[in-house]
């Protein structure tokens, strides 16, 4: 392919990808497709992973796009799918891009409605997966103590508490 046919921006999986990147790294930039899934796709389609994405032919790009969009029906190994045993349908599916974002937000909303432990942790803005929270995860929360007004004690008398004065 000549340099005039090289595409610097390639549209795949509903996302604009950098054509200067190698195919494996560029596919991993699509949300919902990681390194292992991208490698499996390229091996199945017999496309060299070290070729630049912008130098692929239109036919190869269409094959990759079709395979990525219909991954659940074409992949041999279900562990490559990102949504196995979907709660709503019960089947193995693979989501990419904004579809994945929507489903994850919907799962969190459902957990909150059911008031499961995970839903309660989500609604309180705390860590969900059993991490420690004593010293980490304080971002966004107010941590601090308001200092009270200190008065000097009178000689010979013990200090009185606020409730004893009332």
CATH for the 3-79 domain, from 1.10.8.50, 3.30.300.100, 3.20.80.10, 1.10.10.60:
1.10.8.50
Of the candidates 28, 77, 79, which has an alpha carbon nearest to the alpha carbon of residue 12?
Answer: 28
pTM flag (> 0.85): no
* Tens of pLDDT, residues 50-77: 999 999 999 999 999 999 988 888 888 8
- Asked if residues 40 and 28 have their Cβ atoms less than 8 Å apart, the reply is no
* Tens-digit pLDDT profile for residues 76-127: 888 888 888 888 888 888 888 898 899 999 999 999 999 999 999 999 888 9
Rounded distance, CA 93 to CA 80, Å? 10
Please list, in sequence order, all residues whose beta carbon lies within 8 angstroms of the beta carbon of residue 100, skipping any fewer than 6 positions away. Answer: 31, 32, 82
Q: Which residue has the tokens 């059993």?
A: 130
Residue 19 near residue 75, CB atoms below 8 Å: no
**What span, in angstroms and rounded, lies between the C-alpha atoms of 37 and 20?**
20
Q: How far apart are CA 154 and CA 152, in angstroms?
A: 7
Q: Where are the domains of the chain?
A: 3-79
């Amino acid at each position: 392919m000549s340099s005039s046919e090289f595409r610097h921006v390639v549209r795949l999986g509903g996302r604009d990808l950098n054509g200067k990147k190698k195919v494996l790294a560029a596919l991993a930039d699509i949300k919902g497709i990681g390194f292992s899934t991208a490698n499996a796709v390229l091996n199945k389609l017999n496309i060299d992973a070290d070729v630049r994405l912008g130098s692929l032919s239109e036919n190869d790009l269409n094959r990759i796009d079709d395979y990525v969009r219909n991954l659940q029906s074409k992949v041999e190994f279900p562990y490559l799918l990102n949504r196995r045993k979907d709660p709503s349908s019960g089947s193995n599916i693979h989501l990419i891009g904004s579809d994945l974002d929507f489903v994850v937000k919907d799962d969190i909303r459902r957990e909150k409605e059911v008031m499961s432990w995970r839903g309660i942790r989500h609604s309180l803005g705390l860590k969900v997966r059993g991490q420690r929270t004593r010293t980490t995860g304080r971002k966004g929360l107010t941590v601090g103590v308001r200092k009270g007004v200190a008065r000097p004690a009178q000689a010979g008398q013990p200090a009185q508490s606020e409730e004893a004065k009332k």
